[in-house]
Amino acid sequence: MTHAEGSEVELRIETLAAGGDGVGRSDGRVVFVARTAPGDRIRARLLRVHPRYAHGELISVLEPGPHRRESPCPYFGRCGGCRWLHLDDDAQEAGRTSILRDALQRIGGVKELPSIRVVRSPQPFGYRSRARVAHANGRVGFRAWHSHEVIDIERCLVLDAETQSKLNQLREHPPRAPGEIEIRGYGEKVDVAGRRLAVGPGAFFQANRLLWERWLELVSDACGRGELALELYAGVGFYTAEIERNFESVIAVEWGASAADARRNTRARVIQAAA
């Protein structure tokens, strides 16, 4: 079978790759195709062909896999924001677990790997408390798939109510010049697990509002107790503030401007390292 660019092939999708593409094989060559699901039998057009692998685009689903579903988002397929809305929750969990295991074992060389426990969000939509949106020519939303085009998004299913409200406000008064801007459903002070954290503009903060307290519990339990803890990439001190409850001393290292927030949020010794 020819594998020239532009040729068409039929594939059975076997698994999911880091980045979200489905993975199939054609005459021994690995083929990556976006918006496919494990178990799908598909027809794809080859776009970029390399000696051992190729990238293709989906033409049609000849036979859907058991975990394929209709995407609940009307923008899916055009918007470049979400990759797996055509997969049910079980397939998404299995895909993430498989990608992490592959990264640790095949790439990282970890031979003895314990079982990976996935902590699911209490709800699959309405959880995201921040997003980076694009704007151009009066449109406000997200970039199209593999494009700089802005897809006008009226409502994003993954945003929480507060962040969706910020999107609505931006849509009412879109910036004149094209560009990107971060919106978030919280201000410069965030209350988490009985603590108020300073979160300056542009600072990284965990996006899933519904898992904030659960993550703190898991990290705290994993760290245990002791005399000294060292936290790398500490950010604004989201975890640091919890870890220091169980350690006599904590050193937090942050490469970005978030180090200033970490100093306000914790008693830890914060080291701002150069990138």
Give the tens place of pLDDT for each residue, 225-251.
999 999 999 999 999 989 999 999 999
Domain boundary among 63, 88, 107: 63
Q: What is the pLDDT of residue 267?
A: 87
Q: What is the pLDDT of residue 8?
A: 93
Q: What is the pLDDT of residue 274?
A: 58
The whole-model pTM stands at 0.87
Q: What is the pLDDT of residue 2?
A: 63
CATH code: domain of residue 262: 3.40.50.150
Domain boundary among 17, 34, 63: 63
Task: Tell whether 204 is covered by a domain.
Answer: yes
Range in 4-13, 53-62, 148-157, 165-174 the model is least confident about: 4-13
Check whether residue 175 and residue 224 sit in a common domain.
no
Task: Tell whether 261 is covered by a domain.
Answer: yes
| pLDDT mean over 99-112 | 91
For residue 270, report the phi and psi dihedrals to the nearest 5 degrees: -100, 125
Check whether residue 196 and residue 265 sit in a common domain.
yes
Check whether residue 164 and residue 193 sit in a common domain.
no
- The pLDDT of residue 27 is above 90: no
96 band by pLDDT with thresholds 50, 70 and 90: very high
**Nearest Cα to 188, choosing from 258, 252, 266, 267?**
258
Domain boundary among 184, 208, 230: 184
76 band by pLDDT with thresholds 50, 70 and 90: very high
221 band by pLDDT with thresholds 50, 70 and 90: very high
- 275 or 82, which is more confident? 82
CATH code: domain of residue 30: 2.40.50.140
Check whether residue 174 and residue 221 sit in a common domain.
no
Q: 18 near 99, Cβ under 8 Å?
A: yes
pLDDT tens figures, 146-179 = 899 999 999 999 999 999 999 999 999 999 999 9
Range in 37-41, 77-81, 125-129 the model is least confident about: 77-81
Check whether residue 240 and residue 199 sit in a common domain.
yes
Task: Tell whether 92 is covered by a domain.
Answer: no
Q: 79 near 141, Cβ under 8 Å?
A: yes
- Domain of 49, in residue numbers: 8-63
Task: Tell whether 3 is covered by a domain.
Answer: no
E strand segments, 170-254: 179-184, 189-192, 195-198, 226-232, 247-254
Q: How many folded domains does the chain comprise?
A: 3
1 band by pLDDT with thresholds 50, 70 and 90: low
What per-residue string of b and e applies to 91-100 under the rule 16 or more CB within 10 Å gives b?
bbebbeebbe
Check whether residue 172 and residue 149 sit in a common domain.
yes
